[in-house]
Amino acid sequence: MTQTRVIAALIMAPAAICAILLLPTQWLAVLAALVLLVGLWEWLRLADVDGLPRTILLALNLALMVLLVWASAGSLVLFQLTTLVGVGAWLLFLLWLRFFNFGADPDSPAKVLKLAAATLALVPAWTAMVLVHAGENHGNRWLLTALTIVWAADSGAYFAGRRFGKHKLAPRVSPNKTIEGLVGGLVAGLLAALAFGWIAGVQPVQIGGLVIVAAVTVLASVVGDLFESMLKRHAGAKDSGTIIPGHGGVLDRIDGVLAALPVFALGKEIFGF
């Protein structure tokens, strides 16, 4: 399984990097929308939505993305507002993690909130990606920096957790995650931020802001990971899907990114790098 995971990662990572660095923003937005909609399809399955309702909800979210593009008319204000809504939504999702049993019953009225949460997680992540990539001063490199922070944090948490992990972070939601893993992920994410931030052109006076944004981005990615774990535990599923060999579903790979991108985009605007 480890070999399969590595091979799949070696295929996906270069493809993602090439798309980020080489594609214009509009085409990257289309590609990202397709990936996110696959993740949405899996999210709806975890929320026990199947058949025609699942297809309708997918179409409505696609229509929302198209509407945002149409209504923007050359301005990114709507994208900025949507990204800000996403940051607020993830603060509420963090509170939801505190009340694990809320929505655990498939017949619970909270099922509707899971459907709303899907849109509030995926659409703002998409608008945040567009904002960062379309930004001046090497926006494509900054998007790569944001994603690398999440990827590095995920890997750092995995290896630090295996080597040093003793204290559970959220045993009810994700028993394998440890506080030591979180620290390892935070260190790896900060190192990635400094390395790729330098490539993106961060100025010396902006390094402090970059470190702050990177730290919060890593913490947000952990919340995204935990929230998806909660959805899977509610659904009694090990993975969100089987589309990626050794990795499960698309949602399993982008859960941390969904929460991290809006936070990074907002932080980038605040600190101006």
- Specify the long-range contacts of residues 20-29, CB closer than 8 Å, at least 24 apart: 20/133, 20/140, 20/143, 20/144, 20/147, 21/140, 21/141, 21/144, 25/130, 25/133, 25/134, 25/139, 28/129, 28/130, 28/133, 29/69, 29/126, 29/129, 29/130, 29/133
Task: Read off the DSSP letter of residue 273.
Answer: -
3-state secondary structure of 272: coil
Q: Which two tokens stand for residue 201?
A: 């052109």
How confident is residue 165, by pLDDT bands cut at 50, 70 and 90? confident
Backbone angles phi and psi of 46, in degrees to 5: -65, -30
Taking residues 177-204, report their average pLDDT: 95
Contact predicate 42/251, CB 8 Å: yes
Cα–Cα distance, 126 to 104 (Å, whole number)? 27
Within 8 A by CB and 6+ apart from 2, the residues are 246
Which residue from 182, 189, 190, 181 is spatially nearest to 152, judged by alpha carbons? Answer: 189
Other C-beta atoms closer than 10 Å to the C-beta of 163 total: 10
For residue 8, the model assigns a pLDDT of: 65
pLDDT, tens digit, 9 for 90 and up, residues 238-270: 888 777 665 678 998 899 999 999 999 999 999
For residue 35, pLDDT beyond 60: yes
> Which two tokens mark 116?
């709303």
CA atoms of 92 and 86, how far apart (whole Å): 10
* Amino acid residing at 43: W
> CA–CA separation, 229 vs 212, rounded Å?
26
Q: What is the largest CA-CA distance in the chain?
A: 54
Distance in angstroms (rounded) separating the CA atoms of residues 229 and 239: 9
pTM for this prediction: 0.92
Instruction: Summarize pLDDT for 108-148 with one digit per residue, the tens.
Output: 788 889 999 999 999 999 999 999 999 988 999 999 999 99
Q: Is the pLDDT of residue 64 over 60?
A: yes
